[in-house]
Amino acid sequence: MDQFFYYRKKKYSINSNGVFTKKSFSNIALIKYWGKQKNRIQIPLNSSISYSLENVYTVTRLIYHLKEKKRNFSVRVFLSGKEKTSFIPKILEFFHRISFYCSYLRDFNFVIETENTFPHSSGIASSASSMSSLALCIMEIEKKLVPSLKEDFFFKKASFLARLGSGSACRSIYPGLVVWGGHKSIKGSNNLYAIPYPYQVHPIFTKMGDTILVIDETPKQISSSKGHQLMNCNPYAKERFKCANKNMDRLISILKRGDLQDFGELIEHEALSLHAMIMTSSPYFLCMKPNTLNVLDKVWDFRKQSRKNIYFTLDAGANVHLLYPLQEKKFIMKLINNDLSSYCKKIIESFCI
């Protein structure tokens, strides 16, 4: 981790005021991260892989002002133009976590202005794209302070920092398929930062649509952080981590072969395994709503009848991501508009980049 340490300069090579703007995509995991190592900060218990999503992103403007005297962190946060004091504790916790690696943060007053392309209340996780875009802005400051900083290091450290804000955020630094968490079959994979998926991907998996069916817009009953923590005493946890690691091996082979049916079976199994863990935690809880199940039923029916490649995945909520090859989008949108839209509060069309 020492590679990410910032060696303090006596004099800063940065203007005393300025702004950096960065955009980050949201992501949807195919193999899910659910469970963190005890007594370690943001270290996953299994490796995960996600697609970054076009159309679903956060733009963050980080406005900085060099302070006369170094004091503690100073930050104000605005979401879509409205000041959000409720976001400050999370940002301060993030700044504390990364301060060892970015000691310069104490030397500035910051204003963070952030906007999501998706509605804040839509139940779509914004922490991945927002923490990732903030980490990229911070790295822009570091690049000014260390002009010799290499591009590869810029993204690695951005991913490392984003992870300390929210685990899945470290995958939002890169487009395409992104892996986080050490796995024996994936060269370069590690627990500290995410890497772009390094192996061959069949062309069918480079043009995948993702339509998000928003079933429930209310905030989650239980935060992801709490859900991860509950894995530490889930009686099925060990098997789940083993299974996730095996699924990663299966996915590597599927991505190479271009087998959509195997892909679909795997991602649906992963999504339901995540929910099985949620339902068997103590305390147990349920994220799916009746309309989530109605949608899953219809998707299975439609697939049986039409033999079209349409598959679902879920995050830790009620909303459904439908994944399909973009070349089949016309049929799929017909299904969505005719048979599924009545179960949804909103429909967000996206695709995997």
Only segment of 74-82, 141-149, 162-170, 336-344 that touches ligand DP6 (CB under 6 A): 162-170
Measured in whole angstroms, the distance separating CA 293 from the mean position of its chain's CA atoms is 24
Site string for ligand DP6, 267-306 (x = CB under 6 A): -------x--------------------------------
48 or 107, CB closer to ligand DP6? 48
Q: Three-state SS for 323?
A: strand
**Contact status: 167 vs ligand DP6 (CB under 6 A):** yes
Only segment of 26-34, 97-105, 260-268, 328-336 that touches ligand DP6 (CB under 6 A): 26-34
**Contact status: 321 vs ligand DP6 (CB under 6 A):** no
What are residue 246's phi and psi, to 5 degrees? -65, -40
N- to C-terminal Cα distance for the chain? 30
**Contact status: 168 vs ligand DP6 (CB under 6 A):** yes
22 or 228, CB closer to ligand DP6? 228
127 or 234, CB closer to ligand DP6? 127
Tell me how crowded residue 200 is: count the other CB atoms within 10 A of its CB. Answer: 10
**Contact status: 319 vs ligand DP6 (CB under 6 A):** no
CB 71, min distance to ligand DP6, A? 28
For ligand DP6, which residue of 122, 315, 332, 344 counts as binding (CB under 6 A)? 315
The CA distance from 342 to 26, in Å, is 25
**Contact status: 166 vs ligand DP6 (CB under 6 A):** yes
**Contact status: 225 vs ligand DP6 (CB under 6 A):** yes
Residues 6+ apart with CB under 8 A from 130: 24, 58, 60, 114, 116, 169
Beta strand extents in the chain (DSSP E only): 17-31, 48-66, 74-79, 82-83, 108-116, 177-180, 195-196, 208-214, 311-314, 320-325, 346-351
CA neighbours closer than 13 Å in the CB half-sphere of residue 36: 18
Tell me how crowded residue 254 is: count the other CB atoms within 10 A of its CB. Answer: 22
For ligand DP6, which residue of 22, 24, 25, 29 counts as binding (CB under 6 A)? 29
- Take residue 253 and report the two structure tokens written for it: 């082979």
CB 316, min distance to ligand DP6, A? 4
Residues 72-91, interacting with ligand DP6 (CB under 6 A): none
- Name residue 108's beta-bridge partners: 66
Residues 6+ apart with CB under 8 A from 33: 44, 46, 48, 167, 168, 180, 181
For ligand DP6, which residue of 20, 33, 155, 197 counts as binding (CB under 6 A)? 33
CB 72, min distance to ligand DP6, A? 24
Site string for ligand DP6, 116-145 (x = CB under 6 A): ---------x-x------------------
Residues at the contact surface with ligand DP6, assessed by CB under 6 A: 29, 32-34, 42, 48, 125, 127, 166-168, 224-225, 228, 274, 315-316
